[in-house]
Structure 1
Amino acid sequence: MTRPWALILHYLAAGLARPAPRKVLLPPLTVEHFSAKCLDSTSAGFFLREQDPSKWIIMIDGGGLCIDALDCRKRAETDHGSSSQWPATWDPEAVPFSGGEASFANYSQVFVPYCSGDLWLGRDRERRLVIGELQMSGHLILDAVVEHLVNTTTLRTASSVVFAGSSAGGIGVFHHADWITTKLQAAGATLGADGVVVLPMAGLFFPMEWPVLWEEFRWGLEVPVDGFMASWCHLLEESFLHEGCVSAATAAGKPKRECQDVSKILPYIKAQVFMLQNQFDQYQVNHLGFCPVELCNSRTPPKTRAGEYLALLGQRSNETMKDALRQHPHWGLWAPSWFDHTNQLQRDVAARGDLQVSGRSFAEAFRSWQRGEVVQLLAGACDAGPCPLPSVEAVVMVV
């Protein structure tokens, strides 16, 4: 006869008895010291589920950005700009590391909601008129959250830390890839041999020579919109950018705003990175390149002008990722060829999907990479374009 405690352990191991991540708002003194506030100046915070004390994952949320005062004011009325209506617990199904079979199901888990509208780069310490008497303090929120966790949890003695982010969070993770280790150590954490692994999901904004606008491309122009990332950054005052890129730009007499673009900072990242990136990122096509979804989608005929537009993004995404791997041969890569932004990637990280690259799921690929294997998987395209979901790619190229 099975003992009750054994059953309890069984269910815990299967992920069926885990409590939902609970809300933790930062203490008032911490909020004021770091100015760790959402757009509307409510206190920032995170959702926490403590499990294995030696393994931690910290994931920062995504959700676009605001680009003018009106946009920011509207955003401040939502959960992406205010903590005032955050629930007491977070739905475990809404984050990609909580499922029973997920790669990080047994890790201690931190999910940091995105409420600053600034790609996690803002350093505002007070409200500003230019954005509607709001503030953008994403970097300061991260600073405060890490400090608080080191002082109040077993993160202080963790042997392994995964720093993850999706979409806007993926951009933030790229920029903070080296900062996170420095911050943890400065806060008193004693990282083990495994150290910090950086896991950006759909954070490659932008590939080299992108974005190209659809309306220009359809008439024969393939010129990227220079400074696209920086064009809205007049909203940010002294935003946080990857330190290595900023130092190199300064030494070369170039403006540091060039480092807004993730493709520009990749050569300077020293951290160990495992990239998850769709080659044909739907958001960069429909929302930033402005190709209508009825023209540019997963079933766009390859010989049409819209098909050529998708192929161009795939080509430039792949060139950017290959270049990064040449500079960082120990980085990992899992890059599917479907037309999506984050939905399917998060399903795969959560082990809720069954799609593979080179016959390997994300979980299998990531575990192999953690063991020291070189894992750089770039799925083959379908007629130079995206492969329709839910089919698994038949042709696979390993970088």
Structure 2
Amino acid sequence: MALIDEVLKDACPAGSKAPGTGVAPGTELHKATLDDDSAVCNDGSPAIMYVRRAANAASEGDWVIFLQAGGGCSSWEVCRNRFCSYQTSYDAAKMTSTLAPEVASASGLMSRTAKNAFGNANQVYVYYCSSDNWLGRRGNVVLEDPNGSGPSFRLHFRGFQIVEAVVKALMAGASSDDKAETLPKLDTATRVLFGGSSAGSTGATQALDWFRGQVPGAQVVGTFDSILDPLPEDVDDATMRESWQIGIQHRYDEAFVALYDAHLDESCVAAHGGASPELCSLGSHVRLNHVTTPFFDRQDLSDPVQFGYFSSAGGTMTQLVDAIEKTAKRLPDIKNSAEEKSEIARAPGVHVSNCGQHIVMLNGPWFGVAQNGNATVELSGNPITVHDAMVSWIAGNPVAAIDTNPSTTSSCAATTSDQ
């Protein structure tokens, strides 16, 4: 069975669009190709990351490692459409590394400006090309058209194995392909911010405690940008709650298990692997009960991407907003309520707007490092950006800035572009 790129290169439906580059070309972050047989994209091309060494000697022990966003696929039709950029905003650049530029731009969290407290760190931006929310451990998966009319194809879902290979490469001391950037060895790190946006947020949620175990000598904190999906019990309408639960079970069975062999948080699997293993596929349950590494959670109550799949289960935007608000308000209390509360040292930082914005970490005004027009949510009556909330929380201060429905405390940025 041929790989997806070989099958579909001349077989995409009419109306398909040409792919982009997967990340904006630039001059700051240099491509580093991973040399690991298991760390491959959907099409078998090698996984890549973009790197930049710390700006100065004082920052050599600081790291930012961030998993790129980009949706996913778990069926023949959705994976075909994703590769072909047919009836979707995604394209083949999210399934291969062959279209990625040699040097990428840096923005938001990765921007090296005076306004960004994280900008001087060693930077690792891991390119997303596995379509599995950074969870997969399975190769050579064959997908067939259930209608029998389209061509079958083979692809790899190796997102978590890519994360493993990234850590292995960073431990050895990684260099960019053009040798312009050489990073110190990760095992010399003193502070690491590990996280991701959207699909990257899902992967980072499941991998954070594992990652902390790889760098025991460093202070590790996580940051999750979006995908705080509501707990079923926080969905008020009984019919919608049941539909939401069915969807969670279906995704676990059909995607996480059958296709991806997904890596899920180990302590969650130990607790629920028998009776209710699907709970461990729900990131909000994992964050609220099983992630013991300190983390910062950034979310929007009216996230349009999350509404897309919530509405496909029959929900309304009002139901989603109300449910996410309830779930988000649980976060500051996890030291008292989590299943693993005895292992949790401090409450998460929480920044929840109501702006209809999906992800923010690489967007200057939404993250809060633009010259003006930065988005904020009020904290104790004072507006605070995502950036400033993260800085304050990492410094040891409690941060729980959560807007309401309808919005009363958010000041939204002028644009809605994610990146």
CA distances 1:73-118 after superposition (whole Å, capped 9, x unpaired): 443461100001110011223x532151223111111001111010
User: 1:258-337 alignment to 2 at 5 Å?
Assistant: 258-266=279-287, 267-290=289-312, 308-324=318-334, 326=336, 327=338, 329-337=346-354
- Verify the 8 A CA contact 1:311 1:385 in the aligned structure 2: no
C-alpha displacement of 1:345: 7.9
Q: Once the two structures are aligned, what percentage of the paired residues are identical?
A: 24
Tell whether 2:356 aligns with 1:356. Answer: no
Any gaps of 5 or more consecutive residues in structure 1?
1-17, 186-190, 297-305, 392-399
What amino acid maps onto 2:369 in structure 1?
A
The question of 1:42 aligning with 2:42 is answered no
Amino acid of the structure 1 residue aligned with 2:161: L
Structure 1 residues 158 and 344: alpha-carbon distance in aligned structure 2, compared to 1, 3 A threshold:
closer
Residue 204 of structure 2 aligns with which residue? Answer: 173
The count of residues paired between Structure 1 and Structure 2 equals 340
- Cα shift at 1:249: 0.9
Give the distance between the partners of 1:102 and 1:320, measured in 2 at CA: 29
- Please state how far the C-alpha of 1:308 moved relative to its aligned partner: 3.7
Structure 2 CA distance for partners of 1:42 and 1:247, relative to 1, 3 Å:
same
**Aligned equivalent of 2:100:** 86
> Given the superposition, is the C-alpha separation of residues 315 and 238 from structure 1 closer, same or farther in structure 2, using an over 3 Å criterion?
same
User: Which residue identity lines up with residue 208 of structure 1 in the other structure?
Assistant: L
Give the corresponding residue for 2:137: 123
Contact between 2:244 and 2:313, CA under 8 Å: does it hold in 1?
no
1:337 Cα deviation (Å)?
2.5
The aligned amino acid for 1:228 is: G
Match of 2:244 among 210, 225, 238: 225
Contact 1:54 1:160 (8 Å CA) reproduced:
yes
- Of residues 400, 408, 411, the one that matches 1:376 is 400
Partner Cα separation in structure 2 for residue 19 and residue 343 of structure 1: 21
Q: Secondary structure at the match of 1:163?
A: strand
Aligned counterparts of 1:309 and 1:345: Cα–Cα separation in 2:
28
CA RMSD of superposed structures (Å): 3.0
Which stretch shows the higher mean deviation, 238-247 or 152-161?
152-161
For residue 342 of structure 1, the aligned residue among 325, 346, 359 is: 359
Return the TM-score normalized by structure 2. 0.73
Alignment of 1:8-157 (within 5 A): 19-27=27-35, 31-32=36-37, 35-51=38-54, 52-76=59-83, 78-93=92-107, 96-100=109-113, 101-124=115-138, 126-130=139-143, 132-152=153-173, 153-154=183-184, 155-157=186-188
Contact 1:338/1:386 (8 A) holds in 2: no
Q: Please report the TM-score for the alignment, with normalisation by the length of structure 1.
A: 0.76
Shift of 1:62: 1.0
Aligned mates of 2:96, 2:265 — CA distance in 1: 26
